[in-house]
Amino acid sequence: MLEVEVAGIKMRNPVMLASGICDLTKESMEKFSSAGAIVTKSVGIEKRAGYKNPVFCETECGILNAIGLSNPGVDEYIKEINEIKIENLIASIFGKDESEFYKVAKKISPYVKAIEMNMSCPHAKKVGMEYPSDEINSAVENVKKTGKPVFVKLGMENILRRAENAIEGGADAIVAINSVKAMKICIDFAEPILGNKIGGYSGKGIKPIGVRCVYEISQNFDLPVIGVGGIMNAEDVIEYMMAGANAVQIGSLIYYEEKPFAKICKNLEEWLDKNGYSSINDIVGIALKK
Amino acid sequence: MDAEPGQFIMVWIPGIDEVPMSLSYIGEKIAITVEKVGEATEAMHDMIEGDRIGVRGPYGNGFKIFGEKALFVAGGTGIAPLMPLIRKYEGEKLAVIGARTKDLLIFKDELEKITKLYISTDDGSHGYKGFATDLAEKIFEKEEFDIVYTCGPEIMMKKVLDLCLENGIKMQASLERYMKCGVGICDSCAINGYHVCKDGPVFDDSILAKIDDFGKWKRNEAGKKVRI
């Protein structure tokens, strides 16, 4: 009932773990055994310490983070995942240019089912959302040479233009959206809290933005979309899928609920049953047709 | 702030850093005990009364009170997070504190009043010359107790764990790892699938016996495994 297929990858349910959450170490990822797929922490060619603390703070509605793409570098990270017991592992990678993207992708691709290109981290210099839109297509084209399906993760900013470029390069799916560029100031110190000052806003508050982005991409292009942003329960998954998502990812929810996957899947099945659907694929994009 | 013995807070020094610090006093007023070990703690040492820091928490699980007779084994500033527990523990209390030298022995006067106290220094400047674990081993030979609580250098805590496993005595240890988010999502402080910030910092013998990296490996800021 919940089985889906995205760019040739079969998942027993559409609920994936988003990049950046509990996915630096092998054993932490293996604990999410009920997820449809796991996306790794974003990995680059060389190790990165990330930003100074604070890298996290809570807001009235959701959370802010600026971890700063900390990762041990692709060679070290491969040692982490080469014996991992996860059926659908997807590598999130970042790079400052197409050659860096290609190098990381080439090294990591034998160990994963697909590559997710992070073109949307909202607080890193020259990578993520600062990656030039008109260079996305050649970077995707390069990563496609690994032979693995390529997902491109985009943020809300300029998303249709960036999606078009990714599709031109041969993207197999678009992942939308990333956290939203944001800031919190501590009024007692009159100072931004995050070490990097600017971070990414995620959680409940960004869900309507994510749903809109998925809807617009689905309306304009014909390729699988993976929805992410503020999903807190099964109803949110359904909303994203009605907007056109073939699968979804969960991130911030892990802050509030450590192991939400099994519960969400159970509730999805109950909802589908109650509403007369035999497969979750039957609800994909139904809101687009109205 | 309502905190349990063994819990920690994230202390923010604006413009400098945010670091996890165990609470050494809980109750109406909370306090932390700060050793100069880096930029953030140096900045705290330079502060004067009235200076402000940012605080979030308390985080983590804290110690669980067990049995009627306990041995506390602390190395260096490891005694700080044990203090609220020692004050709260109602049974018989034995404590071993070890430090490099006598000037670094902290909470000694208070511990003399509320525990049967044993002291070791690496240089022999006070009490037994040697490590806290050597002293603990001697106490194991002549005393019986229900549980051992420990905090300090991980090599020391690993020895305490081995000693407890050999003797079939329950134990709890408070671990330290490089922490970023402090709330169980960034995975920086992960040790064999457990987050020190959320599942810990206190782990008991049943879990520690399964954690292969305990006493051997930690992770640096980039997440690379490095030798302890």
In order of their start, the domains of chain B are 8-59 (no CATH), 69-227 (3.40.50.80)
Would strands A89-93 and A114-118 be described as parallel, antiparallel, or unpaired?
Answer: parallel
- Contacting residues of B for A73, CB less than 8 Å apart: 222, 224
Closest A-chain CA to B222: A49
Strands (E), B161-209: 170-174, 190-191, 194-195, 202-204
Question: What is the pLDDT, as a whole number, of residue A220?
Answer: 97
Residue A22 annotated to the active site: no
Residues in CB range of A20: below 8 A, 6 or more apart: A41, A42, A65, A67, A92, A251, B186
Distance in angstroms (rounded) separating the CA atoms of residues A261 and B113 = 51
Would strands A9-11 and A225-228 be described as parallel, antiparallel, or unpaired?
Answer: unpaired
3-class secondary-structure state, position B179: coil
- Contacting residues of A for B17, CB less than 8 Å apart: 52-53, 195
The whole-angstrom distance between B180's CA and the closest CA on chain A is 6
Handedness of CA B164, B100, B201, A75 (dihedral sign): negative
Q: What is the mean pLDDT of residues B57-63?
A: 97
Distance from the first to the final alpha carbon of chain A? 24
Query: For residue A126, what are its two tokens?
Result: 């020259």
Distance in angstroms (rounded) separating the CA atoms of residues A77 and A79 = 5
Q: A59-75: per-residue pLDDT in tens?
A: 999 999 999 999 999 99
Q: A188-203: per-residue pLDDT in tens?
A: 999 999 999 999 999 9
Query: For B183, which of A50, A193, A255 is closest by C-beta distance?
Result: A255
Question: What is the pLDDT, as a whole number, of residue A40?
Answer: 98
Q: A151-192: per-residue pLDDT in tens?
A: 999 999 999 999 999 999 999 999 999 999 999 999 999 999
Q: B165-203: per-residue pLDDT in tens?
A: 999 999 999 999 999 999 999 999 999 999 999 999 999
CB contact under 8 A, B186 and A27: no
Which residue matches tokens 């009043």?
Answer: B113
The whole-angstrom distance between B164's CA and the closest CA on chain A is 26
Beta carbons of A275 and A9 less than 8 angstroms apart: no
Question: What is the pLDDT, as a whole number, of residue A290?
Answer: 78
Question: What is the pLDDT, as a whole number, of residue A289?
Answer: 81
CB contact under 8 A, B187 and A71: no
Query: For residue B21, what are its two tokens?
Result: 């610090």
Where in chain A are the domains? 4-289
Give the mutation candidate from A53, A256, A259 for the B interface (greatest B CB count, under 10 A).
A53
Would strands B116-121 and B92-99 be described as parallel, antiparallel, or unpaired?
Answer: parallel
Q: What is the dihedral of CA A266, A268, A270, A275, to 10 degrees?
A: -170
ipTM entry: 0.93
Q: B5-16: per-residue pLDDT in tens?
A: 999 999 999 999
Closest CA to A168 of A137, A147, A142, A144: A137
- Say whether pLDDT at A76 is over 90: yes
Q: A13-42: per-residue pLDDT in tens?
A: 999 999 999 999 999 999 999 999 999 999
Q: What is the mean pLDDT of residues B140-150?
A: 95
The pTM (predicted TM-score) of the whole model is 0.95
Closest CA to B190 of B221, B219, B161: B219
Distance in angstroms (rounded) separating the CA atoms of residues B140 and A9 = 57
% of chain A beyond a pLDDT of 90: 97
Closest CA to B122 of B97, B96, B101: B101
Q: What is the mean pLDDT of residues B83-88?
A: 98
Distance in angstroms (rounded) separating the CA atoms of residues B176 and B200 = 9
What HEC string does chain A produce?
A: CCCEEECCEEECCCEEECCCCCCCCHHHHHCCCCCCEEECCCECCCCECCCCCCCEEEECCEEEECCCCCECCHHHHHHHHCCCCCCCEEEEECCCCHHHHHHHHHHHHHHCCEEEEECCCCCCCCCHHHCCHHHHHHHHHHHHCCCCCEEEEECCCCHHHHHHHHHHCCCCEEEECCCEEECCEECCCCEECCCCCCEEEECHHHHHHHHHHHHHHHHHCCCCEEEECCCCCHHHHHHHHHCCCCEEEECCHHHHCCCCHHHHHHHHHHHHHHCCCCCHHHHCCHHHHC
Query: For residue B73, what are its two tokens?
Result: 């084994």
Query: For residue B88, what are its two tokens?
Result: 């709260």
- Say whether pLDDT at A256 is over 90: yes
Beta carbons of B188 and A70 less than 8 angstroms apart: yes
CB contact under 8 A, B186 and A56: yes
- Say whether pLDDT at B208 is over 90: yes
Q: Which fold has domain A4-289?
A: TIM Barrel (3.20.20)
Query: For B187, which of A25, A57, A65 is closest by C-beta distance?
Result: A25
Residues in CB range of A109: below 8 A, 6 or more apart: A91, A115, A146, A147, A148
Query: For residue A118, what are its two tokens?
Result: 């992070």
Quick count: other Cβ atoms within 10 Å of Cβ B103?
Answer: 10
| Catalytic option among A61, A121, A213, A265 | A121
Closest B-chain CA to A251: B185
